[in-house]
């Protein structure tokens, strides 16, 4: 299973997945320890807040996305690409993945005021 974690500087789980530049990509295999993640830094045009869904994207092929928050537009982008989105209040990427793989509940999401702004933007966007 390929899992992408939205991060802030590759150190903590980021809110606002649609504007996240730094991503950790884990290629997980059942029964194996958590692998060392690949690091992907998106260009501005690749951020889902701006991306037009035309052509390939660096997060293509991801099965699951873990983030602190995400708007409806991001959820639609990822659904088109076949990925499920899981939101969490967990701040450490590796801890979130370890809990997820162990089948443990993740921390509830934190309040993110930017979601309201994104929801308003999504009302008028092309998505």
Q: How many angstroms separate the CA atoms of 116 and 66, rounded?
A: 20
Helix (H) / strand (E) element for 120: namely: helix 114-123
Question: Is CATH 3.10.20.30 what the domain over 2-123 is classified as, yes or no?
Answer: no
Beta bridge partners of 85: 65
Q: How many angstroms separate the CA atoms of 115 and 52, rounded?
A: 20
Length of the chain: 127
Place of tokens 């730094």: 22
Q: Structure pTM?
A: 0.83
Q: How many angstroms separate the CA atoms of 72 and 32, rounded?
A: 33
- Tell me the pLDDT tens digit for each residue of 73-83: 889 889 989 99
- Tell me the pLDDT tens digit for each residue of 27-73: 998 888 889 999 999 999 999 888 887 889 999 999 999 999 998 88
């Amino acid at each position: 299973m390929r899992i992408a974690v939205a991060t802030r500087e590759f150190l903590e789980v980021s809110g606002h997945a649609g504007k996240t530049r730094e991503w950790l990509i884990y290629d997980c295999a059942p029964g194996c320890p958590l692998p060392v993640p690949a690091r992907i830094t998106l260009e501005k045009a690749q951020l889902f807040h701006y991306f037009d869904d035309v052509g390939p994207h660096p997060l293509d092929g991801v099965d699951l996305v873990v983030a602190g928050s995400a708007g409806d537009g991001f959820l639609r982008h990822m659904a088109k690409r076949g990925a499920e989105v899981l939101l969490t209040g967990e701040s450490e990427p590796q801890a979130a993945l370890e809990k997820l793989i162990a089948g443990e509940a993740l921390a509830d999401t934190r309040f993110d005021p930017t979601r309201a702004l994104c929801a308003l933007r999504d009302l008028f966007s092309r998505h």
